[in-house]
Amino acid sequence: MKKRRLWWIAAGVILLALALTFPLRDVFQRTVVVPLAYFLWSLGLFYRSAPQLAWWILAVVIVTTMLLGSLGPGDKYTPRATPKSKPPQGQVEGLAVSIHKTSRRGVYFKWIVANRLGKLAYQMLVRRESDKSRSVFAPLVGADWQPAPLLQKYLETGLHGSFSDYPDSERFTRTSALPLDFDVREAVEFLESQLETRA
Q: What is the DSSP letter of 176?
A: S
Distance CA 141, CA 139 (A): 6
pLDDT tens column, 41-90: 998 888 888 888 888 898 999 999 988 878 766 666 666 777 777 776 66
197 contact partners, CB below 8 Å, separation of at least 6: 144
More confident of the two residues 127 and 76: 127
| pLDDT for the residue numbered 20 | 76
Rounded CA gap, 163 and 111, in Å?
Answer: 6
Give pLDDT, residue 197. 65
Res 63: pLDDT? 93
Q: What is the pTM of this model?
A: 0.49
Q: What span, in angstroms and rounded, lies between the C-alpha atoms of 152 and 25?
A: 88
Those residues with Cβ within 8 angstroms of residue 110's Cβ, 6 or more apart along the chain or in another chain: 102, 163, 178, 180, 181
